[in-house]
Amino acid sequence: MAEDKNDESAAKVQLNSVHNFFRTLNEVATHFRFTFGSRAKQLTDLNATMSSLEEDIEKLIETPLQSGCGDCEAVKTAKAKLDAAHAQVLKKMKEQSAIRQEEYKRENEAYRQKLEGIKEDMDANERAYLEGRIKPERRETPEERAAEVAKLLKEYHIEHLKKAKDAKDWADKAQAGAEKARKKADEKQKNAMKAKVAVDEAIARETQFSGNQDMVDAGHEGARNLAAEMAKNGNFHIEALQAGVEGGAFVWVWEEDACRFDAHPDETRKHGSKSNPVILYEQRIWMKLEAHHLVLEAGGSTAEFGTVQISVGQKLFAQTSGLSYTVDIQESSQKNVKTRYARRVHRIRACDLDPKTMAELMNQRKKALETVGKASIEARTALQKAEFEQQKAIHLLERAEERLKGADITAWKVPYPNGKPVGYDAIPMTWHTMGDALYMEVSLLPSDPEYKQVATFFSKTSKNNIVSMRRVQNILLWNLFARTREPVGKTSLNDGNPNEEFLWHGSGKVEGALEKILVGGFDSSFSSCTPKGIWLSTNSLYSLDYSPSHGKAKKIFLVRTVLGYIGEIHGKSALDIVNGVEVDSHHCGKSSEGHTRKDDQWGGGSDNRYVVNRNNQVYPAYVLEFE
């Protein structure tokens, strides 16, 4: 009997040890569930911060458009808010990461020690039993012991699966929220780019007009078509339409009292008379009225666009009645905001005006075009920077998601350039490590292998002296380039060969173009040549003609490009389809076709120009400054 009691005691000791062991495992599972849930909550909080950041991005995009692309102070203010929001997200992520790492270290060490203690107790009991210091009274059968352990394992397994499912649900919800935020941001960016393009196209059309009535009418017709296109998209931009009607095909006038008609300046009453005492509005006002008229004509909302608030700069009579008026486009009336006194307004064709007035209108239009053109460049730059900041924010969110899933976020999915020679001129492009940085420019020394190889390529076609050479490390643009390179290589025409080369590109003489490319990459919509695309050359001297001056020195890009399958260009005609597949680039000659790069002789002269179809097929690898 004594032996049976000892055996039962030993079994209970071992069973208690097993209970303790699985209880601890259960606590570990609970800990990891809490940690997983906590990470999901942190991602949810980060999503909220991202939504706020999106709103700032949206404001930055819309501000230059709503203000005629010229309100630089608004752009700067929105940019400052964007920078502050981005810094707040980055700071919060770093603080949380540091706190979590310390907590994990302490908790993991505590659980490790606890598990080791239980294991030591179990080992001690087992040794005591084997050495005979614990005398069994009755031994539990192996079947009974196995059944008890199996029961414990089953209970633990069921609870573990439940907790694991809960944690997975948390993570799935967070992932869905992040994906929704990304899609929303992409849609806003796309709509803003469409609006910007509409503005620039309107300006481009206007700048082609020499001032005769046929051209003015054509410009107005272009503005009318633009309004119709906006109606299809359900998104009207008054500023873009104002740019389209600046030519003055139609202007707006208001009816004055006949006794006061002669007191107005000659330039405003040349098309009126005492029997028809109409006064021409200022250009900024009649442009606004005409833009609203085109919106209503295209089917825009009467409630939103039917009335226009205007403020005149000065008045000849009744100054005490105020300078603010409400113009009803459909009713053709103007009402004083303060006194409610109403007058009739009229829309008239500019060709009904006298030649002198037409000349003054054209001069006003030219000055306005110069102002809007400059503002458009500033708006493009601001928008490119906003897109870059948006890409950074999305990247930070993706890194947070990967960290949540336990992924190694120190390594990028797309590897850095590793120094492997690329292209006909074998440029050994090599990047420095960047840590958490997304953009870096590295100055190269004449002793660097990269510098020597690039300088050799440059000197083949140019005798200019290189002043400096910088390697551009823009991780976001590099990822876009790498992701484009892969599908190009997989097409049936390329059969695994993306056909990478290094070619020259002059960034154009438009102010700010070089900086925009460094930050946001290339944009084929800026191309004024046919066919549309990004124009490159193997001849650095050719690209130098398109390079902007910075003091005495000039700058040029050496780009890394995916030529893929090269088609042909003859004059302005491009061969786009080969064997039913779209080609990836074009050569302005005959012999560079397929995957063979040749600087052929065509039409009696050297033609070494290439046109790349897609923006992300070109990466700005180096910037050379030369004299």
DSSP string, 430-483: BPPP-TT-SEEEEEPPTTSHHHHHHHHHHHTT--PPEEEEEEEEEHHHHHHHHH
Highest mean pLDDT among 115-119, 171-175, 545-549: 115-119
Q: How far apart are CA 397 and CA 46, in angstroms?
A: 8
Tens of pLDDT, residue by residue over 191-218, are: 655 555 555 555 555 444 444 556 667 7
Q: How confident is the model at residue 522 (pLDDT cuts 50, 70, 90)?
A: confident
- % of the chain surpassing 90 pLDDT: 10
The separation between CA 596 and the C-alpha centre of its own chain, rounded to angstroms, equals 34
67/578: higher pLDDT:
578
Which of 109-113, 229-233, 394-398 shows the lowest mean pLDDT across its residues?
Answer: 394-398
Query: Of 61-65, 254-258, 312-316, 546-550, which gets the smallest average pLDDT?
Result: 61-65
**CB atoms < 10 A from the CB of 275, how many?**
7
Q: Do 403 and 534 touch, CB atoms closer than 8 A? A: no
Q: For residues 518 and 476, give the distance between their C-alpha atoms in angstroms, rounded to a whole number.
A: 11
Q: What is the 3-state secondary structure (H, E, C) of 68-89?
A: CCCCHHHHHHHHHHHHHHHHHH
Q: To 5 degrees, how large is the angle CA 45–CA 46–CA 47? A: 90
Task: State residue 407's pLDDT score.
Answer: 47
Q: Which residue has the higher pLDDT, 259 or 599?
A: 259
Q: How would residue 546 be classed by pLDDT, with cut points 50, 70 and 90?
A: low
Comparing CA positions, the residue from 228, 227, 206 lying closest to residue 217 is 206
In this prediction, residue 453 carries a pLDDT of: 92
Task: With residue 611 as reference, give the H or E element that holds it.
Answer: strand 609-612
Report pLDDT for 322: 73
Task: Quick: pLDDT tens for 354-373.
Answer: 555 555 655 655 565 555 55
Q: Is pLDDT at 8 greater than 70 in this prediction?
A: no
Q: What is the pLDDT of residues 288-328, one digit of tens each?
A: 999 999 999 999 988 899 999 998 766 666 666 678 899 99
Angle between helix 283-297 and helix 213-233 axes, rounded to 10 deg? 50
DSSP 8-state symbol, 617? G
Enter the tokens of residue 185. Answer: 């941001």
Nearest 10 degrees: CA dihedral of 19, 20, 26, 31? 170
- 411 pLDDT band (50/70/90 cuts)? very low
Identify whether the C-beta of residue 277 lies closer than 8 Å to the C-beta of residue 261. Answer: yes
Strand-strand pairing, 566-570 and 585-587: parallel
> pLDDT tens digit string along 474-512?
887 888 888 888 888 877 677 778 888 899 888 765 556
Ramachandran angles phi, psi of 325, nearest 5°: -140, 155
Distance CA 27, CA 222 (A): 71
Q: What's the maximum distance between 2 C-alpha atoms anywhere in the chain?
A: 133
Does residue 388 have a pLDDT over 60? no
User: Is a pLDDT exceeding 70 seen at residue 170?
Assistant: no
Cα–Cα distances in angstroms (integers) from residue 34 to residues 41, 46, 169, 469, in the given order: 10, 18, 13, 52
Q: What is the pLDDT of residues 335-355, one digit of tens each?
A: 998 888 899 999 988 665 555
- pLDDT, residue 410, reads 44
Which pLDDT belongs to residue 443?
92
Residue 284 token pair: 């900024």
Q: Which of 418, 419, 465, 469 is nearest to 443 (CA)?
A: 469
- Hey, what are 598's tokens? 């040749």
What tokens appear for 404 in the block?
Answer: 């949540």
State CA 386 to chain mean position distance: 7
Residue with token string 């008026």? 325
Residue 309 host element (H or E): strand 307-311
Comparing CA positions, the residue from 453, 451, 481 lying closest to residue 467 is 451
Residue 276 has pLDDT above 80, yes or no: yes
Alpha-carbon Rg for the chain in angstroms:
36
Distances (CA, A) of 181 to 13, 41, 59, 255: 56, 16, 16, 53
- The answer to whether the bond into 531 is cis (omega within 30° of 0) is yes
The rounded distance, in Å, linking the Cα atoms of 430 and 415 is 11
- What is the reported pLDDT for 404? 53
Is 70 exceeded by the pLDDT of residue 65? no
If one counts every other C-beta atom within 10 angstroms of the C-beta of residue 99, the result is: 10
pLDDT of residue 26: 57
Return phi, psi of residue 525, to 5°.
Answer: -65, -15
Q: Percent of the chain having pLDDT more than 70?
A: 46
The rounded mean pLDDT for the chain is 71
Does the structure show a pLDDT above 70 at 614? yes
Burial class of residue 306 (count of CB atoms within 10 Å of its CB; 0-12, 13-18, 19+): middle
The span from the CA of 376 to the CA of 83, in Å, is 22
Helix 72-130 to helix 2-66 angle (10° resolution) is 170
* 172: three-class secondary structure by DSSP: helix
pLDDT, mean of residues 143-171: 61
ω into 620 cis (within 30 of 0):
no
What's the rounded mean pLDDT across residues 529-546?
73
Query: Contact, 534 vs 481, CB < 8 A?
Result: no
pLDDT classification of 408: cutoffs 50, 70, 90: very low
Q: How far apart are CA 61 and CA 387, in angstroms?
A: 9
Report residue 179's pLDDT band, with 50, 70 and 90 as the boundaries.
low
Separation in Å, CA 142 to CA 11, 150, 621? 11, 12, 71
Of the two residues 211 and 527, the one the predictor is more confident about is: 527
Q: What are the tokens at 299?
A: 């089917």
Give me 142's structure tokens.
Answer: 């192996």
The predicted structure's pLDDT at residue 602: 35
Within a 10 A sphere around the Cβ of 96, how many other Cβ atoms? 17
Q: Of 120-134, 245-259, 555-569, give the lowest mean pLDDT range.
A: 120-134
CB 226 within 8 A of CB 244: yes
Task: Summarize the confidence of residues 543-565 as an average pLDDT.
Answer: 75
- Tell me the two tokens of residue 461: 């076609």
Mean pLDDT of 148-158: 60
